[in-house]
Structure 1
Amino acid sequence: MIAAGGPSLFKNGKGCGACYQIKCAGNRACSGRPVTVTITDSCPGGACLAESAHFDMSGTAFGAMANRGMADRLRSAGILKIQYKRVPCNYNGETINFKVDAGSNPYYLAVLVMYVGGDGDVAKVDVMQAGCNSWTPMQQSWGAVWRVNSNDGKPLRAPFSVRITSASGKVLVARNAIPAGWGAGATYRSTVNYGY
């Protein structure tokens, strides 16, 4: 099942999570053409317990499944039946980006991990501070947002290298991905991605 109006991490919802090819059925507004969307978060419990799959989608994603001129009708349809399959994420050569959360400060760093190619499913993120030789695990806040706190009462030291482990076990390291002098709300592009 799919429900309209779920939260979107940024304007077009692209680039943050696992990729699925979906199409809706059972509504005259459905085009029947598959579209690729990015799923950022799961729905563990509550309304999702009764269904094998439940996606809350942005209005943009809903509209993409509609016949021409019927996007608004599909967005207001509520719950729809869909067919879906997991597909590799392909961002046409885009490298992994790290958007620093607006609430980050010298003692707390949270980043939105964007444009992860391949399976797109980030299972683990670690960070290495400047002057360190070891990785510190980040905690998943929600969706594709990962965070770390200073454990010793001292400010975190940039630049930060980021190590990403995908759900399939592939490891990728973005060296000095978040520079010294980083800013809350800023986005930093790495030079790496899976499959590129």
Structure 2
Amino acid sequence: MALATRVFPSLVTFVALACFALRSFASVDYDRKPSGWSVAGATWYGPPNGSGTDGGACGYQGDVGQPPFNSMISAGSPSIYESGKGCGSCYQVKCSGNPFCSGNPVTVVLTDLCPGGACLEEPVHFDLSGTAFGAMAHPGQADQLRNAGKLQVQYSRVPCNWHGVDIAFRVEAGSNPYYLAVLIEDEAGDGDLSAVELMQGGGGGGWAAMQQSWGAVWKYNSGPPLQAPMSIRLTSGSGKTLVASNVIPAGWQPGGTYRSIVNFS
């Protein structure tokens, strides 16, 4: 019995020390990677103080330099571009491994695809506009940070907040009475879309599915001539739905932009 009394405290001590070591290791590992942030690579393209390139693989054209995007945009690696389904999604990015990094996050919207080169070296990569890349720097040090060329950054998917801007629909060139293609932009919240549907004037035919054409452009092929006005129902990436009633008016024209009075909250 005396032997057992000596052995039992030793066993308890060993187990306690092992548990303490495991807790300490877990704590260190958690602190190394803050919750909600993941690691990616980042480069920049276009003019140093510009908005990447006009348009890009989402089709936003010169809108990338206008409100609400304001040149704070990025091309994304295929993993986040998702064949165009990622167009319009918003991310916070920040850097800290360079002396010119402020460490403060900046918000960018995905407007383009970065298909090769450095964009395939990591699972996720952001090819930022010169403006967005420089915005990660300390005040007055944007040029010095851009000189780095490539950085490791942390990123987090965030809701888009367009501060009162409603969703816009631009009718694409080539649209006609039997074919409609619209670029959809400025979706708040998720920023991206998983489905788009069309209802023609009168609503007798109900909702008809549109197909993603490319980037942020969705299309509908009609048998009989299209009947305006037309409403469009949007489903966001997380499944929220929203109807832009009669947003494509009678007398619509290719090249015209028609802004709704709704947006995701």
Same fold flag (TM > 0.5): yes
- The TM-score, its normalising length taken from structure 2, stands at 0.63
Maintained 8 Å contact 2:119/2:127: no
Alignment equivalent of 1:155, drawn from 225, 228, 232: 225
Question: Counterpart of 1:57?
Answer: 128
- Going from structure 1 to structure 2, the CA distance change for 1:18 and 1:106 (only over 3 Å counts) comes to same
Alignment of 1:39-50 (within 5 A): 39-40=110-111, 48=119, 50=121
Structure 1 residue identity aligned to 2:248: I
CA deviation string 1:38-75 (max 9, x = no partner): 12456678865542212233333223223334434544
Question: Counterpart of 1:2?
Answer: 42
Displacement of 1:30 in angstroms is 3.1
Q: Which runs of 5+ in 1 are unaligned?
A: none
Residue 163 of structure 2 is aligned to residue 89 of structure 1: no
Same amino acid, percent of matched pairs: 60
- Going from structure 1 to structure 2, the CA distance change for 1:55 and 1:23 (only over 3 Å counts) comes to same
* C-alpha distance in structure 1 between counterparts of 2:193 and 2:118, whole Å: 25
Question: Counterpart of 2:200?
Answer: 129
Alignment equivalent of 2:244, drawn from 174, 178, 185: 174
Q: Which runs of 5+ in 2 are unaligned?
A: 1-40, 46-51, 71-86
CA deviation string 1:150-196 (max 9, x = no partner): 3x2x432221111100111111111111111112222211121112x
Question: Counterpart of 1:143?
Answer: 215
* C-alpha distance in structure 2 between counterparts of 1:113 and 1:20, whole Å: 19
- The TM-score, its normalising length taken from structure 1, stands at 0.82
Residue 259 of structure 2 is aligned to residue 189 of structure 1: yes
Q: Greater strand percent: which structure?
A: 1
- Going from structure 1 to structure 2, the CA distance change for 1:71 and 1:106 (only over 3 Å counts) comes to farther
Maintained 8 Å contact 1:42/1:55: no
Q: Greater helix percent: which structure?
A: 2
Name the count of aligned residue pairs.
193
Structure 1 residue identity aligned to 2:104: R
Root mean square deviation, CA, Å? 2.7
Secondary structure of 1:11 counterpart: helix
